[in-house]
Amino acid sequence: MKRILVAAALAAAPFTLAAQTKPVTAPATSATDAAKQAKVQELFAAMHVERASEQMVKTMQGMVAHAAESAPGAQDATPEQRKIMAEYEQKAMDLAVKSIGWEAMKPVYSQIYAADFTDAELDGMIAFYHSPSGKALLEKLPDIGQQTMKIVQERMQALQPQLQQITTDYGNKMKATAPAPKSPDTGK
């Protein structure tokens, strides 16, 4: 389960890099805010953010499926257990899409971009993503992301024995330093 959460977090990382930890405010109300929001939406369209978000969901589905299939005992699963695995995968993905899918996150991203970028910065990014270099970046980013994700997954897999040892050592140290159990009060 921890691997699934780590994988989902890594898949979402490209969408969160531009988001700083500022609180999201109420939706835009003034004409200036509406104009800025329109620029943000134009930027999202130029960046193909919705398509990238959908790709992220597909990547997450693959990671959840892989994690479920690699779980201990999954290879020997009965047909009934495989059905349970499929239901688990679907429930996990439905929850993820509902919580962090494009429709859920679009208002959040819109507010963050509108708050963090000036009109001039938005105009510059829109121009860039409409340029040949910007289009090349958008075209190549999915492959770059997949290559990067594969490397990260391989490295995380290689770290599993070390992480397990660290976890075991931690547990042993915590047990060794735990206060001795109190004897039951016998009234004496």
Would you list the DSSP string of 102-133?
HHHHHHHHHHHHHHHS-HHHHHHHHHHHHSHH
The Cα–Cα gap between 125 and 122 comes to 5
pLDDT band at 18 (very low <50, low <70, confident <90, very high): very low
- DSSP letter assigned to residue 74: G
CB 89 within 8 A of CB 64: yes
Count the domains in the chain. 1
Residue 15 lies in a domain: yes
CB 121 within 8 A of CB 89: no
Residue 188 lies in a domain: no
The pLDDT, as a whole number, for residue 25 is: 47
The pLDDT, as a whole number, for residue 65 is: 80
Nearest to 12 by CA among 95, 105, 88, 87: 105
Name the token pair of 149.
Answer: 């994700």
The pLDDT, as a whole number, for residue 187 is: 53
Residue range 95-136, pLDDT digits in tens: 988 988 899 999 999 999 999 999 999 999 999 999 999 999
Is the pLDDT confidence value at 144 over 60?
A: yes
For the chain, what is the radius of gyration of the CA atoms? Answer: 23
Residue 186 lies in a domain: no
Give how far the C-alpha of residue 188 lies from the chain's centroid of Cα atoms, to the nearest Å.
58
Residue 153 lies in a domain: yes
Angle of the 49-70 helix axis to the 102-116 helix axis, nearest 10 = 130
CB 25 within 8 A of CB 115: yes
Is the pLDDT confidence value at 54 over 70?
A: yes
CB atoms within 10 A of CB 64: 23
pTM for the full predicted model: 0.61
- Domain of 38, in residue numbers: 2-177
Residue range 36-46, pLDDT digits in tens: 999 999 999 99
Residue range 146-174, pLDDT digits in tens: 899 899 999 999 999 999 999 999 999 99
The pLDDT, as a whole number, for residue 1 is: 44
pLDDT band at 2 (very low <50, low <70, confident <90, very high): very low
- DSSP letter assigned to residue 48: T
Residue 187 lies in a domain: no
The pLDDT, as a whole number, for residue 185 is: 66
Interval 83-100 mean pLDDT: 88
The pLDDT, as a whole number, for residue 19 is: 43
Is the pLDDT confidence value at 6 over 70?
A: no
Residue 32 lies in a domain: yes
Q: CB-based contacts of 103: which residues, under 8 Å, 6+ apart?
A: none
CB 93 within 8 A of CB 57: yes
Weakest mean pLDDT among 57-61, 90-94, 169-173: 57-61
Residue 182 lies in a domain: no
Residue 45 lies in a domain: yes
